[in-house]
Structure 1
């Protein structure tokens, strides 16, 4: 297999990164995709720094062994530690993509952000936005439970709406917010539900900008796949059922889905 046909790796702590797979189908429809979702150990946002880095490096090694030419870090929590990760192939974080996307569309000096505990407490979104546009300030809130609720209970609308409001209402109480960055890969799965509750909010999904940055890189390297038929392989460390539900919800119908066992050294919690 030549460099052009090698797959793009995408990693996440669960089903959330499948939203990046969806954007790949729009922006780079010819690229082969190899996705790894570590649902068994999610949510990463509530874990210690050393655990997050260790788990991420384990997934990177798995994807590298499969011959990927680049890796998209769909997980915001993992992306916040991108400088501490070990990889033989280019890594593309999602946090810079989210800040760039928000800065491009927002005319306000305040932008909302919802993310995991680890992402918000790291301050990485604030630092990244400051580098991009010092006039913009993020109003953030975290949610310990919403990613897990999305992962497990998409059909329980009352519970889902309750956690959405608990996460977003405190942000809106702090000022006039018109744009909201979805700073966890799970959140774009429920864009429709969020928009129904907050129709006046413009939601920023960092995945589109992340894939556009990848497209630019592949074009510069001469690595764009030219074969029209793409392959999507999805690997998970837990149940496959939740992946099937989200793949269907996102309109991704052609794929291979496999459950993989964790290395024993990675499974000691």
Structure 2
């Protein structure tokens, strides 16, 4: 497929978590047009069996292929763990969160790394494998699967009472790794988690956090520059959002997390399970 500079960039996620990736792209590449698809009907992906995750992911990949995106950002870490089984559904290059997170850790001078993620990402061991494969020295990787955290963030962002539940869950999942295991940094292995970094910093002010979204935006910029596909500067891009979930909630959350230049926010029918 022939891509143009004006072709959009796709971002997919299981819910609103990928807004953290879209936000980083808007900061680094404000001229680019973005199309976002969040599968709110099936969140959290990490609690589904692998074959269902692959099927739902390929459903979203095909959505983006029809819109002729010039690059696809696989924001969802759970999908990133099975991305090789999905890439045939699109013709454009993909940039995934797990690879980006491992790349970011490999550039750090650390020997003990923590990863918090969904249950599926944790059980797949994809982060420990990729971090160890890419790090120049031996690294101990401690991983924790959080069955409730993504859902709590999805439904409680911006609500003081709800955020108290989020912080209680963060303590439950992180206390041992931070206070006992003494991890030197923590990879936010689910796109929902960067949306509550203020809460994490409040609980653990000395803990460095690794947000794969930052590396994903850098990798995207490098790809666009290398291929001559970067849109002309000076003309702000727009963000169109599609969701299989609640349209009004997505519009509200997009504004809450600081996304800019919003175009349409529309419903897209979910895949039937």
Q: TM-score range by the shorter chain?
A: over 0.9
Structure 1 stretch displaced more, 247-256 or 32-41 = 247-256
Structure 1: 5+ residue runs without aligned partners? none
Structure 1 stretch displaced more, 127-136 or 8-17 = 127-136
The CA RMSD over aligned residues, in Å, is: 1.4
Q: Where do 1:79-98 residues align within 5 Å?
A: 79-85=80-86, 86=88, 87-98=90-101
Indicate which of 141, 166, 173 corresponds to 2:144: 141
Structure 1 stretch displaced more, 206-215 or 219-228 = 219-228
8 Å contact from structure 2 (residues 114, 142) kept in 1:
yes
Answer yes or no: is 1:257 the counterpart of 2:265.
Answer: yes
8 Å contact from structure 1 (residues 178, 200) kept in 2:
no
* Runs of 4+ deviating beyond 3 Å: none
Post-superposition shift, 1:90?
A: 0.8
Closer, same or farther in 2 for the Cα pair 1:109/1:250, shift >3 Å? same
> Hey, what does 2:123 align to over in structure 1?
121
Q: Where do 1:1-269 residues align within 5 Å?
A: 3-85=4-86, 86=88, 87-105=90-108, 107-133=109-135, 134-154=137-157, 155=159, 156-226=162-232, 228-255=235-262, 256-262=264-270, 266-268=271-273
Post-superposition shift, 1:2?
A: 5.9
Post-superposition shift, 1:241?
A: 3.0
Give the Cα–Cα distance (whole angstroms) in 1 for the partners of residues 96 and 185 of structure 2. 21
Give the Cα–Cα distance (whole angstroms) in 1 for the partners of residues 210 and 248 of structure 2. 28
Q: Deviations over 1:91-122 (max 9, x none)?
A: 111111111212323x2210111000000110
Structure 1 stretch displaced more, 131-140 or 232-241 = 131-140
* Aligned residues between the structures: 264
TM-score, normalised to structure 1, is 0.94
What secondary structure is seen at the aligned counterpart in 1 of 2:16?
A: coil
TM-score, normalised to structure 2, is 0.93
Closer, same or farther in 2 for the Cα pair 1:245/1:132, shift >3 Å? same
Structure 1 stretch displaced more, 250-259 or 158-167 = 250-259
Q: Deviations over 1:160-211 (max 9, x none)?
A: 1111111111322542212110000000000001100110111111101011
Structure 1 stretch displaced more, 247-256 or 181-190 = 247-256
